[in-house]
Structure 1
Amino acid sequence: MRLAMLGVRGSTPAPGPAFTRYGGNTSCVAVLPDGVPGGLPGELPGDGDVPALVLDAGTGLRGLGRLLGDAAFRGSIVLTHLHWDHMQGLPFCPALDRPDARVDLYLPSPRPLETLTRVMSPPHFPITPDGLGGAWRFLTSASRPIEGFDVTVAEISHKGGTTLGVRVERDGRSIAYLPDHCPQAGCEAAAELAAGVDLLLHDGQFLPGERALADAYGHATTADAAAFAARCGARRLVLTHHAPTRTDDALDVLAKEFEVAREGDVLVV
């Protein structure tokens, strides 16, 4: 598998010159099967023959077009939760909003369309979900095969509504994606989800000295993430969901100790 990092920021986008090297867009990861080029413009075929799986739909989702070229998106998007920074890109990605698109959107809700409509409708937004172009299905998240990947979801600890962690497996390789997670809450489901994965993409929003903020918002410190990865036996840890105040220079310092996700990178698993 390859993970195309389309957005690695948390809470809110971070525009400006201090955020250009690591990126300012919020959470979005495209999962590509092995052997498919990714990360360069137009290199992901859009003819429906290649599995297309996207994790979260933050503002980074707009960058999906760089992978598809002029093609429509035909695939599935799995949302970990419904906070704005993980779904704000949905109506702003042209590859999804066109007549020849096909989108299966998985939400952590028993009434997915009703739930999405509550946050995407006037007066909060000009259109409702049924105003998006293409063939859309709004589905309740569950562990199942999706686009040729084995996808497992489990509820994990994070404040402000149901939040899922996601495990993706294909061809004997595995990744776990937990961009918003409070490991100090001791969630066993999260540990089982990430057990023995080849790559753990995990919340690293706060530093150890920001413990009070991490606890208040239900996030991890970098030390929490490292301890969780060790506990799970993850072979590789990459920190994501960077704080919107964490500048490029600050992330350079963090990168001396940890592997840090960067918008535009493609991680090979």
Structure 2
Amino acid sequence: MRLALLGVRGSTPAPGPEFVRYGGHTSCVAVLPDDSDVPRLVLDAGTGLRGLGRLLGGEPFRGSIVLTHLHWDHLQGLPFCPPVDRPDSRVDLHLPGDGDPRGLLARMMSPPHFPIDPGGLRGDWRFRTSADGVVEGYTVRVAEIAHKGGVTHGIRVEGDGVCVAYLPDHCPQIESAAAEKLASGADLLLHDGQFLSAEQETADAYGHATIGDAVAFARRCGARRLVLTHHAPGRTDDALDVVAATGAELARQGDVLSVGAP
């Protein structure tokens, strides 16, 4: 299994020359199987989803998108991604929370806030509640984790002999057996690292993690490899280089991570 990092920024996109090396698009990760470069499973649909077409070679997307939560930076790419919005696409969109998933999405994506509602997306769309089970050939587990502002899920994906845990918005200062179970023994943990230790008060208030919080959580869960994502929108390339110099592994937009590799 490999992870194509299409968006690694948090809160808002970060355009401009100071955000080139790590990338400015918000959360989106495509799961690539060992035997193919064509993704069928995507985690989150931030503005990074716009880059999905580069992996598909002009073909439509036919697969599943699993959302961690419904904050804008995790779903705003949906109506701006051509491979998911064409007559021959097939998309199963899994949203967290109870009730009508299509109706939940329409609260953000409908006039007057947006020109179309979810029914305006072309192709075969199915709106589902949270994924839990076999999705596109992978075993997917989701569980509610601590993050401010609505139901938020962490995601565990198992397949190709490895395991990935994806918790891009998480407040591990609030201990959670469910979150620890998702990340337990993961070959790769892709985790919220939006704030520095000096910003602990802000991290706590926003329901996010500092880098120190993420490292402690990874150790607690026995994760084999930690990659920090959801970078603060004001954290420039040079500032992130300073963080990387401490030995932390940082997600970079455009990178493809081999799971299980050192």
Normalising by the smaller structure, the TM-score range is over 0.9
Indicate which of 76, 86, 109 corresponds to 2:97: 109
Runs of 4+ in 1 over 3 A off after TM superposition: none
How does the TM-score come out when normalised to structure 2?
Answer: 0.97
Aligned equivalent of 2:147: 158
- Per-residue deviation at 1:54? 0.2
Say how many residue pairs are matched. 257
Aligned equivalent of 2:170: 181
- In 2: Cα distance, 1:235 partner to 1:205 partner: 21
Describe the superposition over 1:115-159 as per-residue Cα deviations: whole angstroms up to 9, x where unpaired: 111111000000000000100000000311000000000000000
Counterpart AA for 1:65: G
2:66 and 2:131 in contact (8 A); partners too: no
- Per-residue deviation at 1:22? 0.4
- Per-residue deviation at 1:36? 2.1
Aligned equivalent of 1:59: 47
Which moved further from structure 2: 3-12 or 171-180? 171-180
Aligned equivalent of 2:125: 136
SS in 1 for 2:157: strand
User: RMSD of the TM alignment (CA)?
Assistant: 0.7
- In 2: Cα distance, 1:213 partner to 1:63 partner: 31
Counterpart AA for 1:225: A
- Per-residue deviation at 1:171? 2.6
Aligned equivalent of 2:219: 230
Aligned equivalent of 2:86: 98
Aligned equivalent of 1:258: 248
- In 2: Cα distance, 1:144 partner to 1:136 partner: 19
- In 2: Cα distance, 1:261 partner to 1:142 partner: 24
Aligned equivalent of 1:28: 28
Aligned equivalent of 1:48: none
- Per-residue deviation at 1:234? 0.2
Aligned equivalent of 1:41: none
Aligned equivalent of 1:191: 180
- Per-residue deviation at 1:202? 0.1
How does the TM-score come out when normalised to structure 1?
Answer: 0.94
- Per-residue deviation at 1:100? 0.2
- Per-residue deviation at 1:188? 1.2
2:194 and 2:209 in contact (8 A); partners too: yes
Which moved further from structure 2: 198-207 or 28-37? 28-37
Aligned equivalent of 1:40: none
Q: Matched residues, percent identical?
A: 73
SS in 2 for 1:249: helix
- In 2: Cα distance, 1:58 partner to 1:117 partner: 16
SS in 2 for 1:253: helix
Aligned equivalent of 1:209: 198
- Per-residue deviation at 1:69? 1.4
- In 2: Cα distance, 1:218 partner to 1:207 partner: 14
- In 2: Cα distance, 1:136 partner to 1:224 partner: 38
Which moved further from structure 2: 109-118 or 63-72? 109-118
- In 1: Cα distance, 2:182 partner to 2:56 partner: 30
Counterpart AA for 1:261: A
SS in 1 for 2:128: strand
Structure 2 unmatched runs, 5+:
none
- In 2: Cα distance, 1:260 partner to 1:184 partner: 21
* 1:122 correspondence with 2:111: yes
- In 1: Cα distance, 2:195 partner to 2:136 partner: 33
- Per-residue deviation at 1:187? 1.2
Structure 1 unmatched runs, 5+:
38-43, 45-50
